[in-house]
Amino acid sequence: NQVIATAKQTSTSDVCTSPEKIYTSTLFLQRNSTLSDNSDKSVIFSCKTDYLYPSIDIRANATKSVRFAVIVKWAQLQQNGHAVTDPLLTVTLGEPVSMTCMTGTSRPPPIIVWYIGSEKSGNGTSLTLVPSNADHDMAIYCQAYNIDSSQTVSSNKPRLFVR
C-alpha cells in the first residue's frame, strides 16, 4: 500500500541548526516519498551543509512528526445503504432520491463531486436528486480525490430510468 508523506505543518521542510549555532541549513522530506505504512510517526530528517570549509561536510539530524496521506482508491454509489450494482437505476419522476458516495479510507478526507451525464450536480458525500424527464437515460455517478485531482476515481455509472 503506497502512502504519501506530508508534514503536519504546512511545509515539508524544517531548519536544522547545530547546538553551537555555527551553521543553519534547511532540511526536507521529499514530497511524494513512499514509506512503509500509513501510520503517523516521527521521521528523522538529515541535513548537510558546507559551512566555512567546503571540503568538510557537516551533518545533523532532526526529528519531525509526519502525518501520512492515503490516496482515495475507490468510490461506490449507494442508495439506502446498499451498493447500486444494476446498470439501470429506476426512479420516479419528481420523487426525491437520496444517493451516497462511499470511498475507501483516505487522508485527508476526499473531495466528492456528483454528476448526472456530464453536468456537475453537487458536492459532498450525499446527493438528493429530484428526477426530471431530462434525467432519463443519463448516467449518475460521483468522483472523488483528495491529494491530486489527476488521481480522481469514479464510482459505477448506472443510467437513470425515469418513470
Same domain, 95 and 121: yes
Same domain, 53 and 101: no
pLDDT score of 57: 53
Domain range for 19: 4-69
Same domain, 53 and 95: no
Buried b (16+ CB within 10 A) or exposed e, 46-74: ebebeeeeeeeebebeeebebebbbbbee
Same domain, 46 and 8: yes
Kindly list the strands in the beta sheet with 41-49, ordered across the sheet, starting from the edge strand earlier in the chain: 4-7, 58-69, 41-49
Same domain, 83 and 61: no
Reduced to 3 states, what is the DSSP secondary structure of residue 20? coil
Distance from CA of residue 134 to its chain's centroid?
32
Number of domain units in the chain: 2
pLDDT score of 107: 81
Residues in the chain with pLDDT < 50?
1-29, 32, 34-35, 50
Rounded Cα–Cα distance for residues 147 and 73 (Å): 11
pLDDT score of 26: 46
Residue type, 64: K
